[in-house]
A and B are shown apart, each in its own frame.
Chain A
Amino acid sequence: MRGRRLIALAVAVALAGLLAWVLPPPAAFAQVNRDNARCLRCHADQTGTVVANREEKSLRVTSATFNSSVHSLLDCTSCHPGFTASDHSADQTQGWWREATLHSCGNCHAGQFSMYSGSFHGKLVMDEQSTSAPTCGACHGSHAIINVDSPAFRPSILPMCEQCHGSRSQSYLDTYHGKAFILGNESTAVCTDCHGTHRILPRSDPASTISNEHIVATCAACHPGANRSFTTYQVHLDPSRPGKSFTAFTSWLIYTGYALLIGLVFAFGGVHSVLYFYRGWKEGAYRRVEH
């Protein structure tokens, strides 16, 4: 009995393998080369631009760029639905943008799309029709999408968020994480480590990673043992400006006090040194060489 079952299993596996080898690959994959080649034939040399999301975007897509993308095995029409080689007018291109940048991605990445839909950014785009809030492509790119776990992605996070959150980025750079990150320590916390990725929510929302309910756990992810007191550390603080909060204001007081002290000591030391040197020079102290 036992032997027969094994033989049956082996035959089934062999048959499945034979079928997989003989049958054509799934439709989407099979058509890749032929259809994309037709698109790339024109777009590799395109010098024109198209306005999408009030931004001028280049029409140029080379096969080298597209092949570097994690989506290189997808059809162009997977993300540009309804486009055909003979007909993709300017109107169609304009109308395509919102649809494609959200739902085309959502077709495959349903989980991420669902998180994004409920996020601060997602609500701005989908409920308030914002054209400046980021859609998928704003962070991930379009024709050269790379894996978010690849080494090249992490350094790109700060410049990405900075496009809209400039002042927050600057104040981040004035505290420990930012200083280490900008000088090349990518293991330190950057925007997304505290704020999340697809489901970024304002601090007032209890579900936010930085809400009162979750902030301790968020810090403790990197700092095991972090308590409530630990979370009163301000990760966005520019001490050269008098902020409104107690921490920001007192930090500015310390910063300014030190600036005055440094100025005073350097000025006095500078005058003392210059005068000392001047008198020594007059007395000929620098002319003879001693022992």
Chain B
Amino acid sequence: MSSIDATLTPERSGAPARAAEEAASFRLEYRRFGAFHRWMHFLTMVSFTVLVFTGMPLRYKTTGWAQLSMDLIGGVQTAAILHRMAALVTVFYFACEVLFIVLYVVQRRGPLWGPGTITPGRKDWQDMRAMFRWFLGRGPHPRFDRFTYWEKFDFWSLAAGTVIIGGTGFMMWYPVQTAKILPGFVLNWALVIHSSEALLAVGVIFLFVHFFSAHLKPGSFPMDKVIFDGSLPVDDYARERPIEYERRVQEGTLGRVLIERRRGFATKAAMVLWYAITIIALIGALGFGVFLVWVALSWIGVL
């Protein structure tokens, strides 16, 4: 930390007493996510959670836990309204994200593929194989760029899932209008697709990809706060994403992503929110884990 501070902000290293005092309340951090992406994530998080808890009981309608969930929500009619409200939030953030990508492309803000982009490439395949070797102690940990392969999977699977679930969801919301354009039996397909894709999304988000990488993986436990904070200590970033860090140092663009972070009362207050989110995530992941055990036991006929 101190070595990076010294090289990046030489003017500061010359004022010993004041610098030490300032360092207590200010810290130079690496800005990973801007306000836009943090808001997008927040809207996704809230709407996705509401959609899952108001929708999943319908797939397992005859179980006791489905009935209990509906009772807790306040009845199936309330759940239906909440589900549609969250769907509208989803439409909003998805439209914002599409607009962002369109502007990114039109205004040529950066490369569309290659190093540092979220587009999957050859390196992701190599990284994944290297990770499996590292898991088994047969090789070094791969050096990641701005986005890891699981983050790319997370992003694109959510994007595709939103189109699929959203499209079929609106078909079922407006069945009469849908039948005027498409044959009515498409509504049968819509329900099967909506429900199955939802289960897939819940597994990816609630456990296997997103919650694992944000809360459980080495370095993230108990919670990776960067999507809420926007920034993290430069040392940590340089260790986690060395390729991007080194590229910025080489290109001389590191200064663009360094911000002075004030760590005051607001940060401490936000900790309460972070841990609340962590607890909700934990409940979701645990609930999903129990659910998987239940499905497995049902299949082999124990239950």
Contact = CB atoms under 8 A, between A and B. Distances in A.
Given A269-B204, A269-B207, A278-B135, A183 B184 contact: no
A283 B218 contact: yes
B196 A258 contact: yes
Nearest to A268: B208
Contacts of A269: 203-204, 207-209, 212
B57 interface: yes
A291 B30 CA distance: 14
Contacts, number: 144
A285 B221 contact: yes
B193 interface: yes
B188 A180 contact: no
Contacts of A254: 189, 192-193, 196
Contacts of A250: 189
B67 A273 contact: no
Nearest to B77: A185
Q: Is the interface of B mostly helix, strand, loop or mixed?
A: helix
Interface stretch (A39-47, A105-113, A230-238): A230-238
B184 A232 contact: yes
A275 interface: yes
Given A173-B62, A262-B200, A227 B179 contact: yes
A29 B297 CA distance: 60
A273 to B, nearest CB: 5
Interface in A174-195: 175-176, 178-180, 182-185, 187
Interface in B97-138: 131-132, 134-137
B241 to A, nearest CB: 16
Interface string B63-89: 000110010000111001000000000
Interface in B153-211: 172, 175-177, 179-180, 182-185, 187-189, 191-193, 196-197, 199-200, 203-204, 207-209
A229 B184 contact: yes
B61 interface: yes
Quick one: which of B58, B136, B188 has the most chain A CB within 10 A? B188
B175 A285 contact: no
A261 interface: yes
A255 B156 CA distance: 22
A276 interface: yes
A285 B219 contact: yes
Given A183-B76, A233-B185, A233-B187, A258 B217 contact: no
A231 B150 CA distance: 43
B208 A266 contact: yes
A272 interface: yes
A32 B66 CA distance: 47
Contacts of B204: 265, 269
B175 A233 contact: yes
Contacts of B216: 273, 277
Interface in B136-160: 136-137, 150
B242 interface: no
A127 B259 CA distance: 88
Interface stretch (A20-28, A62-70, A81-89, A218-226): A218-226
Interface residues on B, range: 35 or more
Contact of B208 (A224, A227, A273): A273
Contacts of B193: 254, 258
Interface residues of A, number: 53
A15 interface: no
A270 interface: yes
A36 interface: no
A187 B75 CA distance: 12
A230 B184 contact: yes
A291 B240 CA distance: 15
A279 interface: yes
A119 interface: no
Nearest to A230: B179
B230 interface: no
B200 A265 contact: yes
Given A223-B176, A226-B176, A272 B80 contact: no
B208 A270 contact: yes
A275 B132 contact: yes
Given A185-B75, A233-B185, A251-B188, 6 more contacts: A225-B177, A227-B180, A229-B180, A233-B175, A251-B192, A254-B196
20 contacts: A178-B61, A184-B67, A227-B179, A230-B175, A233-B187, A239-B192, A254-B192, A255-B192, A258-B193, A262-B196, A265-B203, A269-B203, A275-B135, A277-B216, A279-B134, A279-B137, A280-B217, A282-B137, A286-B218, A286-B221
Interface of B: 57-58, 61-62, 66-67, 70, 75-77, 80, 131-132, 134-137, 150, 172, 175-177, 179-180, 182-185, 187-189, 191-193, 196-197, 199-200, 203-204, 207-209, 212, 216-219, 221, 233, 236, 292
**What are the 8 tightest A-B residue pairs by CB atom distance, in nearest-first order?**
A269-B208, A280-B218, A285-B218, A258-B196, A230-B179, A275-B135, A232-B184, A247-B185
